Each structure stands twice: as C-alpha cells, then as structure tokens.
C-alpha cells in the first residue's frame, strides 16, 4: 500500500472522495426505486445495494475503526450490506438482495450523505492506516460503479420492453474494421506486478520477473463481425473447439451467441444500456465467457494471451487512454481509431487471459478483515486485463488484475488473440 507521504493533500483527497461518491449517485440517477431494487440473477446485485454496500465499507473500515466516537447511522444495516467479509459476522444472503425493498433508495441516499459528511470532517486528521483504507475504499467504489452498470444492464435486459437507461444519439454505423493484424513480441525476461509505492491492490504484488517465449498479440480486440463468422461457421456446434466444461455449459444452457444478442427480422440485435440496436460489425465483441473466448481462439488458429504477455505489452500504453466510463455517449464498446501497433489495450472490453487467478510469488494479503478482499478468491477463476467502457477513467494500471469464473459473461468481457512464434 501507499505511505502517507504518497497521498495528495487532505483537501485534494476530500475532492477525490466527493468526486468518486458523486459519480455513483449520478449513474443511479435515471433509476426509480423499483429499478434500483431489482436483482436480475444471483451473481448480480441491485443498484441500491451497490450504493449501500460502498457506504457500509467507509462507515465500517474508516469511521468505525479510525474515528473515535463514531455512531453507526443504523446498526442493523451492517447485516444487510456486508458482502463477503467473514470477519464482520453474519450477513444477508447474496441471492436474496433483491428482496430488500427497505431501506428505500432515498434512505440509502440519506445514509450516503451522512457518511460523506463524517468522512469529510475526519479526513484531515486521519492516520496513515486510515488513509490506506480510504484509498482502498475509493478504488473499491470505482469497482462497484462498473458492477452497478453491468447489473443495471442485466436488470433492464430482463424487461420485455427493452428499456434504455440512456438513449443513444443517432449516428452512422462505423466502417468495418481493418483485417486483424499482429504485433510480434520478443522472448525475454520481463517484470510484471505493481512496483513498490503508490496504490495497488494486494493481488498485484509483489513485482516479479517472468520469462516469456516469442509470441504475437493481435493489434486489436476481436470484433462483432469476426464473431459472426464464428457463429455462421458453426462454432457453437463444434465440440472439438471447446474445453470439456465449456461444451457442457454450451449444451446445458443452449448458448448460441454472446449474451444480450438476439435475432430479429433476419439480423442479429444487441441489447445494451442504450437499448436494442443492430449488432455493429466494427465494435469489439462483448459479453462472452472465458469458455467462448477460448473456443473462438482455437477456431481462429490462435490462443488467448497469458496475463504476463498482456502486461508486458501494455506497460508502455497510457492506462487513462481508450473508451472508458467518462467517454462521450452511451456506455458501450466501440471501434478504436486506426493506428499502428497494439490498440485498445485499455477500455472498451476486459480481455480474457488464459491465466488462472492465482497469487504471485511472495503474495501477502492486506492485514485485517480487508485482507479478505482478494486473496480468498484465488481459486477456479480466470484473469481479465485492460478495463472496459464501464471502467472509471483513472482506475486502471498495467498491473490491474480482474477475475471472474469462466462461465460468467454479464461483465463487459471480450478478447484479444495471441499466437506462439
């Protein structure tokens, strides 16, 4: 974690805190209380729960633990809005979060305001340990901003009316992308992981050397047009392309296309936060599982990159570049501008890697209950890199590791191909 000397001045931290918290409220602004209460699946959460859980994090780990005399806004709510922290005791069942009609959305907003005022008053005098937790909390809330968007999309997609959260402004479809190219990467010894100093989650450390063989990375993510060819050539019906678990998943769930794709009037349509629209061939394909990404790569005569290959290649790119949450227009993946070399490493879609989410050599979890944040999930999940169109700008780093189970695809997940040289 960062030392106090590496934090900005307290007045700047207050501004950053307010900006992050305000963005969460802004994302939820179009929602009614009913919209914000829906839980579309057990793996997703209501928007109201995201707004409450992030407030619980600050009230618990900053105010309760580091501000003497703090009194909880409502001590009953800790049971409702604890996510998975065993060290904080019993909690409401995750799959039943959509049953919490009370507290209301307005009550959650009032709680957020109360917590924000208390944090702002306390922040100038917080200890280095408390500032560490505050930094974690801000990045934690940015993660929940993306989760809230993906869960809102899942909830609206379940509505037969196909309502848009934010209507899309009329625009001409983008031109078809150029042919998928490749950038060769030399063999050698590279370093990956977050360097000492500055903020990073514990799972990104320690920085360590990795030996890579010569390989090639695709110059951009796979597009919808390329995925359509996979569909048309029977990719979802060819068992030879699939991992055994993936093939069982395809057959058990009747998977024939990416999530949120549907056929209408002889053409494929895609539902997004901007409503239902024809699939645009140039856009990066999105909402595909690891199983699908791996099968597509095999169909294309390629493979998925390792996370070490991805990070070694992305180290020279600007993590604040690309189509991320504050880009103009609707939140959706878009084709990148023409350029030479590797493009769209950040933003648009999280890119599946063939690496399992495991600890780095010498990994040490954060001390205390917040140490449950990453380490205990290091089993049965796969790594994704690079962020998406729903990731808040400023949240990403070359070392940033996202992770999901291989069948999950409600996040903005896509892929980039790799080949051995």
Compute the distance between CA of residue 387 and CA of residue 395 in angstroms, rounded to an integer: 9
pLDDT digits (tens, 9 = 90+) for 395-409: 999 999 999 999 999
Which sign, positive or negative, has the C-alpha torsion 99, 100, 104, 110? negative
CA distance 116 to 112: 6
DSSP at 407: T
pLDDT classification of 10: cutoffs 50, 70, 90: low
pLDDT one-digit tens code per residue, 24-77: 999 999 999 999 999 999 999 999 999 999 999 999 999 999 999 999 999 999
Kindly state the tokens that stand for 277. Answer: 């629209």
pLDDT of residue 167: 85
3-state secondary structure at position 223: strand
Q: What is the pLDDT of residues 371-398, one digit of tens each?
A: 767 889 999 999 999 999 999 999 999 9
Number of H helices, E strands in the chain: 11, 12
Residue-level pLDDT at 176: 72
Domains of the chain in sequence order: 4-157 (1.20.120), 182-420 (3.90.1580.10)
CA distance 131 to 320: 24
pLDDT, tens digit, for every residue of 313-335? 998 899 999 999 987 777 999 99
For the CA atoms of the chain, what is the radius of gyration? 22
**Alpha-carbon gap, residue 26 to 49, rounded angstroms:** 15
Question: Which pLDDT score, from 0 to 100, does residue 109 have?
Answer: 98
DSSP label at residue 31: -
Q: pLDDT for 113-146, tens place per residue?
A: 999 999 999 999 999 999 999 999 999 999 999 9
The first and second tokens of residue 51, run together, are: 């707004």
Q: How far apart are CA 150 and CA 292, in angstroms?
A: 19
- Measure the CA–CA gap between 14 and 21, rounded to whole angstroms: 11
Q: Please provide residue 211's backbone torsions phi and psi, each rounded to the nearest 5 degrees.
A: -100, 120
């Amino acid at each position: 974690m960062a030392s106090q000397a590496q934090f900005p001045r307290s007045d700047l931290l207050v501004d950053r805190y307010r900006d992050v918290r305000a963005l969460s409220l802004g994302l939820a602004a179009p929602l009614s209380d009913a919209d914000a209460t829906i839980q579309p699946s057990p793996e997703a959460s209501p928007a109201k729960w995201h707004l409450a859980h992030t407030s619980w994090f600050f009230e618990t780990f900053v105010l309760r633990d580091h501000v003497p005399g703090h009194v909880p806004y409502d001590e009953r709510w800790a049971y409702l809005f604890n996510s998975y922290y065993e060290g904080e005791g019993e909690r409401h069942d995750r799959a039943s979060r959509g049953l919490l009609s009370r507290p209301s959305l307005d009550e959650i907003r009032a709680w957020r305001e109360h917590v924000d005022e208390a944090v702002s008053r306390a922040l100038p005098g917080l200890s280095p340990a408390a500032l560490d937790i505050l930094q974690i909390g801000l990045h934690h809330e940015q993660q929940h901003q993306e989760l809230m968007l993906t869960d809102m999309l899942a909830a609206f997609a379940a509505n037969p009316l196909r309502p848009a959260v934010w209507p899309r402004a009329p625009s001409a479809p983008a031109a078809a992308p150029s042919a998928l190219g490749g950038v060769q990467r030399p063999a050698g010894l590279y370093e990956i992981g977050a360097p000492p100093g500055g903020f990073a989650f514990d799972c990104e450390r320690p920085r360590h050397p990795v030996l890579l063989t010569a390989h090639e990375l695709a110059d951009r993510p796979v597009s919808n047009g390329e995925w359509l060819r996979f569909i048309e050539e029977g990719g979802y019906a060819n068992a030879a392309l699939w991992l055994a678990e993936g093939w069982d998943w395809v057959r058990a769930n009747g998977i024939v296309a990416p999530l949120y794709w549907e056929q209408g009037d002889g053409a494929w349509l895609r539902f997004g936060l901007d409503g239902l629209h024809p699939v645009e061939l140039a856009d990066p394909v999105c909402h595909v599982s690891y199983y699908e990404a791996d099968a597509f790569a095999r169909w294309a005569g390629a493979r998925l990159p390792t996370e070490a290959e991805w990070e070694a290649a992305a180290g020279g790119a600007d993590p604040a570049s690309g189509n991320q949450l504050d880009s103009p227009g609707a939140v959706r993946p878009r084709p990148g501008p023409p350029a030479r070399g590797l493009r769209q490493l950040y933003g648009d879609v999280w890119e599946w890697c063939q690496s399992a989410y495991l600890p780095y050599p010498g990994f040490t979890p954060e001390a205390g209950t917040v140490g449950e944040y990453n380490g205990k999930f290091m089993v049965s999940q796969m790594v994704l890199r690079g962020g998406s169109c729903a990731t808040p700008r400023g949240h990403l780093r070359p070392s940033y590791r996202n992770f999901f189970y291989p069948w999950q695809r409600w996040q903005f997940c896509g892929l980039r191909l790799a080949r051995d040289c």
